[in-house]
């Protein structure tokens, strides 16, 4: 079960049911192959479920995202699997890249759990980030995704998922599932696994009526996420994207972290030799510290729910 160089991941990490009618909880990890955290968390969850056999309504299934990329510890092989899920690609049925093959295999798995067999279908897509971050949920405001996301005790960001297209959560949402993306922390930080595991257990409680006290890792496997690693729930919306042109020279001031407060006039970055200062009393999100990318940073504002 441990992640090791010699491990080959199979598509389905686990499936668990008490053969009672109820919802489907469809959890994906490793859609980016360099983000094994969600997969490791799912392995732990299924180990525990198989050991203690608690009663749940419906079914949980854990699915590997980019199998081939995960096996070689790379973000992707030919193209980003979190950009392939456009209507056009799905309808074209073309399997001309490794990631399109992975995508159609995941769709096949989902189709084995059709809508009519469940009272409702939920998805949870587990990710991590290159920079250190507090955990956060990224929710697309369609269906009842947003009220569902607010059942979980962590930061929630609206509107981020809409900036890019072809994400797996877009596909899940337009297929009628309710859910969100969960960014659990930095790729290799062991707390990311704790956070993914904690959130999966909470999703099992909220969706499938799991009595958490029935599992042997309780309360540690929840507390590590809720009490140790995650901030209190707050909701943010994007109010500004600082986009970059390909030739721009851009350097963020050091030390900014996700959701850090910024003030009007504060120096944020240098761009083409000029200062970039904040026009907002707000919070910064996804500051660019890698050499590549077209988003310098985002400005987000806390909103009342």
127 touches Zn ion by CB under 5 A: yes
Distance of closest approach, residue 223 Cβ to Zn ion, in angstroms = 26
CB of 15 to Zn ion, least distance (A): 23
Using CA atoms, how far residue 27 sits from 24, 62, 178, 259, in Å, is 10, 5, 12, 26
**CB of 183: closest distance to Zn ion in angstroms?**
7
> Nearer Cβ to Zn ion, position 66 or 229?
66
Alpha-helical regions (H) of the chain: 37-52, 67-71, 87-92, 98-111, 145-149, 168-174, 190-208, 220-223
- Would you tell me how many other CB atoms lie within 10 Å of the CB of residue 243? 12
| Nearer residue to Zn ion within complex by CB, 23 or 29 | 29
CB of 150 to Zn ion, least distance (A): 22
In angstroms, what CA-CA distances link 217 with 49, 257, 303?
A: 10, 31, 35
Structure tokens at 242: 């600082």
- Residue 165's alpha-carbon distances to 46, 172, 256, in angstroms, are 31, 13, 27
Residue 80 or 237 having the CB closest to Zn ion: 80
User: For Zn ion, which is the closer residue by CB, 196 or 262?
Assistant: 196
CA angle 156, 253, 291 (to 5 degrees): 80
SS3 content of the chain, % helix, strand, coil (to 5): 30, 25, 45
Contact stretch for Zn ion (CB under 5 A) within 85-93, 123-131, 206-214, 233-241: 123-131
196, 182 contact by CB (below 8 A): yes
196 belongs to the binding site for Zn ion (CB under 5 A): no
Q: 84 and 103 in contact (C-beta within 8 Å)?
A: yes
Instruction: State the binding string over 74-113 for Zn ion (x if CB under 5 A, else -).
Output: ----------------------------------------
DSSP secondary structure of 162-205? TSSSS-HHHHHHHTT-EEEEEEEEETT-HHHHHHHHHHHHHHHH
Report 6-65 residues binding Zn ion (CB under 5 A).
32, 35
Least distance (Å) from Zn ion to the CB of residue 101? 19
Select 32 or 44, whichever has its Cβ closest to Zn ion: 32
For the bound state, the minimum distance from the C-beta of residue 197 to Zn ion, rounded and expressed in Å, comes to: 17
Cβ distance to Zn ion smaller for residue 82 or 89: 82
Asked if 170 touches Zn ion (CB under 5 A), the answer is: no
Whole-number minimum distance, CB 216 to Zn ion, in Å? Answer: 30
Output 127 or 158, the one with its CB closest to Zn ion: 127
| Stretch of 51-59, 100-108, 126-134, 275-283 contacting Zn ion, by CB under 5 A | 126-134
Distance (Å, rounded) from C-alpha 136 to C-alpha 90? Answer: 28
User: Residue 161 Cβ, how far from Zn ion at the closest point, in Å?
Assistant: 12
**CA dist list (Å): 198 to 45, 65, 74:** 9, 20, 25
* Between 82 and 145, CB nearer to Zn ion: 82
Give contact residues for Zn ion (rule: CB under 5 A). Answer: 32, 35, 127
């Amino acid at each position: 079960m441990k992640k090791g160089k010699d491990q080959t991941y199979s598509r389905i990490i686990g499936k668990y049911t008490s053969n009672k009618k109820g919802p489907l909880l469809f959890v994906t990890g490793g859609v980016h192959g360099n983000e094994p955290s969600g997969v490791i968390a799912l392995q732990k969850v299924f180990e525990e479920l198989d050991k203690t056999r608690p009663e749940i309504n419906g079914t949980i299934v854990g699915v590997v995202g980019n199998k081939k990329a995960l096996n070689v510890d790379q973000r992707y092989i030919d193209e980003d699997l979190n950009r392939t899920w456009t209507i056009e690609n799905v309808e074209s049925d073309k399997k001309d890249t490794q990631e399109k093959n992975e995508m159609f295999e995941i769709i096949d798995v989902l189709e084995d759990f059709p809508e009519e067999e469940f009272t409702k279908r939920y998805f949870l897509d587990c990710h991590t980030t290159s920079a250190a971050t507090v955990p956060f949920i990224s929710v697309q405001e369609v269906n009842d995704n947003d009220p569902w996301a607010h059942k979980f005790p962590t930061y929630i960001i609206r509107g981020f998922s809409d900036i890019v297209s072809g994400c797996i959560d877009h596909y899940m949402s337009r297929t009628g599932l309710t859910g969100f993306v969960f960014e659990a922390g930095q790729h290799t930080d062991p707390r990311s696994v704790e956070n993914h595991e904690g959130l999966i257990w909470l999703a099992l409680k909220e969706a499938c009526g799991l009595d958490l006290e029935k599992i042997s890792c309780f309360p540690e496997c929840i507390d590590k996420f809720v009490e140790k690693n995650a901030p209190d729930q707050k909701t943010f919306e994007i109010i500004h994207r600082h986009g970059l042109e390909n030739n721009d020279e851009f350097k963020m001031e050091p030390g900014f972290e996700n959701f850090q407060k910024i003030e009007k006039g504060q120096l944020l970055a240098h761009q083409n030799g000029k200062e970039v200062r904040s026009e907002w009393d707000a919070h910064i999100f996804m500051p660019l510290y890698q050499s590549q990318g077209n988003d310098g940073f985002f400005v987000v504002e806390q909103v009342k729910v």
